[in-house]
Structure 1
Amino acid sequence: MIETKNNPVVAKEKAVKNKPSVTNISDEVRDHLLVKLQKFEESRGYLKSKLNTKDLAKSFGSNSSYLSIVVNTYKQKSFSQYINDLCIDYAVARLQTDTKFRKYTVKAIAQEIGFNTAEAFAKTFYKNTGIYPSYFIKQLESRD
């Protein structure tokens, strides 16, 4: 292949080679981000709607590239999958323990846990649990 400055193939290959990885992050930065993520999970920060890597990384005093790498490496998932999984786990646990929460509409539950639409919540809930939230709630209600 002929290397030219304006060749998009060469530019893409160089970008892939220069893509940051966890080995490019100092131990101090990595540990800082892992501690921040732990606190984020404990404080249920994932329940905020319109959460993104840029804003979260900024609140952690870091950048979105480093945060994405740490999440990908240590949580073994993409940032959006990480957030969605936390939200669904929270919803399942709360539905199991909070009878008032079960009375909410699917749309209200979705909004409560940071999803923009009931459809996105129901789809993600199903993907994670194998059951739709409305049916899950019905099962819980029939058990009680």
Structure 2
Amino acid sequence: MAGLISVIDCISQASMEIGISQRPISTAVGSSDQDISQMQALLSTVADEVLLEQPYRVTLGDGIWVFSSDMEPKEKITSDSDLIGFDARLAIDGLKYRFLKAKGLEFGEEMRDFLTRLNKLGARANAVVLDLDADEGRVQ
């Protein structure tokens, strides 16, 4: 699976991009920081939304979106090194959008970024390639 990101890297990147931290966080799972703990919890909400759409409805159709660092499927996040089973940028954008929405802050641009990325990934997965040379009845 290309483009995967660890839980700590996703939360760290999202928190820096929206300005709640100035440097990478040291821990996400079990953090005493309320915002970081909320972001970890919101990853499930992001995953629920992502799993409804292509290409992840097919590729992660069993609902398992968390993997250990050795790619073993997991039911839930238990470690900072756990991997998110969908596109890294999609996870970060979705987390920013959901966090700002949960806080009652302006989230329109972040939602647009998330949905645009989700739609582009879906379109890429559903694109049909026509091979015009494969037409047997074609006159040469």
TM-score (norm. length: structure 1):
0.26
Higher relative contact order structure (alpha carbons within 8 Å, sequence separation ≥ 6): 2
Bigger radius of gyration among the two:
1
TM-score (norm. length: structure 2):
0.26
Structure having the higher strand fraction is: 2
Structure having the higher helix fraction is: 1
